[in-house]
Structure 1
Amino acid sequence: LPSSPHVQSVYTGDNGIFKTIQKDTLCMDSSTIDQTVSIEMANLAKQKGAAYMDTPVSGGVVAAQNGLLTFMCGGDGKSFARAEPFLSQMGKNVVHCGDVGTGQAAKICNNMLLGISMIGVSETMNLGEKLGLKPEMLAKIINTSSGRCWSSDTYNPVPGVIEGIPCNRQYAGGFGSSLMAKDLGLAQNAATSVKAATPLGSLAHQIYRLLAQSPEFQGKDFSVVYQFLKDQTAGSK
């Protein structure tokens, strides 16, 4: 589900899951939401004699299509043992992170890095093209050099470099810019609560907030930040 209020509504609303949940039911929620909401839902599930795990997921569209997702699981050991066989049908990596809420912690850390790295790759590809480099050649160099990362070797934002990903469909589908803005916001809230310095995470959040508020970009995959940055430099001529 997209955000914390949606999860709370699905579980605790007038027709929510907790209205009719049976004892010993295991709930696995793969939404990326506020850690405190996952803990709240787990406590409510326990009152009903059920169990709740936060099991946020990462890997993107390609990994989902190939059953290669990563699930980050928060919950007790017994619940994890029950959940793992189901999650393993969809994911290659099913990781027990600790108590309820730790799955969310791992996910927002991962997505903060993802947002930062996608902006970095987009800036790099845009600069290289302006310096006369062909994007396919530049990507090949990066992917065999120290700049290699998922945002370049698996999800490069330049159309035509990698087939079968959203940038080749005018950035349609995939992981939306609005969702990335939401996840980066969760990371910033968490960073504030524990007094962690995240200057790049903060800048990435501001950039994706701009995309999320733009009619042109808000419905596009988060890799459209490449086009956004390209438009900025084109407009500065």
Structure 2
Amino acid sequence: MSASIAFIGLGNMGGPMAANLVAAGHHVTGFDLVPAALEAAATHGVAIAATAAEAVATADVVITMLPSGRHVLEAYRGGGPGGGLLAAAGAGTLFIESSTIAVDDARAAHALAAEAGHRNIDAPVSGGVIGAIAGTLTFMVGASPADFESARGILETMGRRVVLCGEPGSGQAAKICNNLILGVSMIAVSEAFVLGEKLGLTHQALFDVASAASGQCWALTTNCPVPGPVPASPANRDYQPGFAGALMAKDLGLAVEALHSTGVEAEVGSLAADIYRKFADEGGAGLDFSAIITVIRARSEGAAA
């Protein structure tokens, strides 16, 4: 069944996700602060609203894909042109929050929506821009079972796998745990390739061994940080994201906040967050996160010299 959907945030991830909803027969009205994002969405059949509040006014479902928890909460509460999303939406609207934000912010958004008479789930994604375009994202969902079932069909239009992780906030918890693994593993894979170069291994030889052995992981077999072995990886496109270094730095920062708040001792995760924060600050923000290998290689050459 088709639905009337408002999509707030039509950037690198939100734009393709909205386009897939249109292709599936849903009526999608979108809003973004960036004119180029609006123009791109319009070419895929997304109706463009003048304000975010206007977009949600007649929607059955509201999906947000925004940069941070602060932006989500501000959009929910209002203060900008047209007022807040919660006040503008009709009673009982289902809000799907697909940004990657802190667990506490996700729970705060859920509470605000419930107080305003709406339903809310957190459903962050994994799979990057390639997955958003292909409709193969993984959604990690925090929701009541009933709200999960209400959202499942829409999420399955945009993704290949939809997992109910638990109560509201659990989707964000799963996302930051997953990206903690991803950030650490990409650094390890990159260090291994640079070491292989020093030891005389070709990239293909190391890939052929590790991809079929105990070193196998997503960072190696899908997002390989060197060109050649995985033709679709960003390394073959001068590290155009993909999943940008700035986003990895952000997500690992959220993971570190959660580590501190829960008292978990995680030395490797904290170090990975430091490495990616520096990478983003020193020119890697707009590159794919796998470009961390270029930093490791450059520092290795400097150390050898």
TM range (shorter): over 0.9
Q: Take 1:26 and 1:164, find their aligned partners in 2: how far apart are those partners?
A: 35
Query: Are 1:90 and 2:158 counterparts?
Result: yes
- Does the 8 Å contact 1:126/1:230 carry over to 2? yes
| Structure 1 SS opposite 2:243 | coil
2:208 is matched by which residue type in structure 1? K
Residue of 51, 58, 76 corresponding to 1:11: 76
In the alignment, what sits opposite 1:191?
Answer: 259
Query: 1:30-179 maps to which residues of 2 (within 5 A)?
Result: 30-179=98-247
In the alignment, what sits opposite 1:233?
Answer: 300
| Structure 2 SS opposite 1:213 | helix
2:75 is matched by which residue type in structure 1? V
Q: State, as a whole percentage, how many aligned pairs show the same letter.
A: 44
- Does the 8 Å contact 1:21/1:48 carry over to 2? no
**What is the deviation of 1:66?**
2.8
**What is the deviation of 1:45?**
0.7
2:226 is matched by which residue type in structure 1? V
- Does the 8 Å contact 2:130/2:242 carry over to 1? no
CA deviation string 1:128-166 (max 9, x = no partner)? 011111101111110011100000011100022211222
- Does the 8 Å contact 2:241/2:289 carry over to 1? no
2:233 is matched by which residue type in structure 1? I
Greater length-normalized contact order (CA 8 Å, ≥ 6 residues apart): 1
**What is the deviation of 1:232?**
0.7
- Does the 8 Å contact 1:11/1:41 carry over to 2? yes
**What is the deviation of 1:4?**
1.3
Which consecutive residues of structure 2, in runs of 5 or more, have no partner in the other structure? 1-65
**What is the deviation of 1:210?**
0.6
Q: Take 1:115 and 1:50, find their aligned partners in 2: how far apart are those partners?
A: 35
- Does the 8 Å contact 2:110/2:121 carry over to 1? yes
| Structure 2 SS opposite 1:89 | helix
Query: Are 1:224 and 2:281 counterparts?
Result: no
Query: Are 1:2 and 2:67 counterparts?
Result: yes
CA deviation string 1:162-194 (max 9, x = no partner)? 112221111112111111111111111111111
| Structure 1 SS opposite 2:182 | helix
| Structure 2 SS opposite 1:87 | helix
**What is the deviation of 1:108?**
0.2
TM-score (normalised: structure 2)? 0.75
- Does the 8 Å contact 2:244/2:287 carry over to 1? yes
**What is the deviation of 1:75?**
1.1
2:170 is matched by which residue type in structure 1? T
Q: Out of 75-84 and 56-65, give the one that drifted further.
A: 56-65
List structure 1 runs of 4+ shifted beyond 4 angstroms. Answer: none
Q: Take 2:76 and 2:193, find their aligned partners in 1: how far apart are those partners?
A: 43
1:203 is matched by which residue type in structure 2? L
1:230 is matched by which residue type in structure 2? R
- Does the 8 Å contact 2:135/2:160 carry over to 1? yes
Which consecutive residues of structure 1, in runs of 5 or more, have no partner in the other structure? none
1:4 is matched by which residue type in structure 2? G
1:64 is matched by which residue type in structure 2? A
2:69 is matched by which residue type in structure 1? S
**What is the deviation of 1:111?**
0.3
